[in-house]
Amino acid sequence: MAIAPRHSAAVSTLALGGDEAVLEIGCGHGVAVRLVLDHLTSGSITALDRSQKMIDMVAAASPEALAAGTLRLRAEALEDADFAGQTFDAILAVNVDLNLRLGTRWPGMLKALLKPGGNVVLAFDPPPDSSKGHAFIGKSLDRLTAAGFTAELLPAHGRVTVIRALLV
């Protein structure tokens, strides 16, 4: 399976120790999910996607992790998800621009889902010759900072933009 730079950059930025509870927003085909699973020893990942088709694909690709409870799947949008008090050590989103659908609401939503000291990693690979990457960076950094995160733009991984935000 070929791994896109955006997925490897996002997961490596998480710097997982193996026992974390991780949430991926917009898991798509599950590329980042499988990379996270490779790093987990006693932790878990919850994969969230609005598309049932994508969730079914992730389930089919990782039946052992699903059966073991290491992988949890949810076919719903972030804004509709009720995690019933569950919190995460890390949240990642790869090529999901939360600014477009959720405006200024998303940093507060993520903050409510993070454990103290938790981190958010956003990786975005904009189309060539597009200004979407610049808009994503500016809005994401401003909104995360306004919500109380310490946010930073990391050195580029080719065209891939990676933002890491820590909840302190």
The 10s digit of each residue's pLDDT in 69-106 is 999 999 999 999 999 999 999 999 999 999 999 999 99
User: Is residue 60 within 8 Å of residue 88, measured between CB atoms?
Assistant: no
Q: Which domain holds residue 149?
A: 5-79+92-167
Has residue 152 been placed in a domain? yes
Has residue 62 been placed in a domain? yes
Percent of the chain with pLDDT over 90: 84
> What pLDDT score was predicted for residue 156?
73
Has residue 107 been placed in a domain? yes
Has residue 17 been placed in a domain? yes
CATH at 108: 3.40.50.150
User: Is residue 154 within 8 Å of residue 120, measured between CB atoms?
Assistant: no
> What pLDDT score was predicted for residue 155?
83
Has residue 85 been placed in a domain? no
Has residue 151 been placed in a domain? yes
Has residue 84 been placed in a domain? no
> What pLDDT score was predicted for residue 41?
96
Total domain count, the chain: 1
- What Cα–Cα distance (Å) separates residue 140 from each residue in 9, 48, 102, 106, 111? 17, 20, 11, 10, 14
Above 80 in pLDDT, residue 130? Answer: no
Mean pLDDT of 40-44: 97
Residue 26 CB partners (closer than 8 Å, separation 6+): 48, 49, 50, 93, 94, 95, 96
> What pLDDT score was predicted for residue 1?
61
Q: How many CA atoms lie within 13 A of 21 on its CB side?
A: 13
* Residue 115: band (very low, low, confident or very high) from pLDDT cuts 50, 70, 90: very high
User: Is residue 164 within 8 Å of residue 23, measured between CB atoms?
Assistant: no
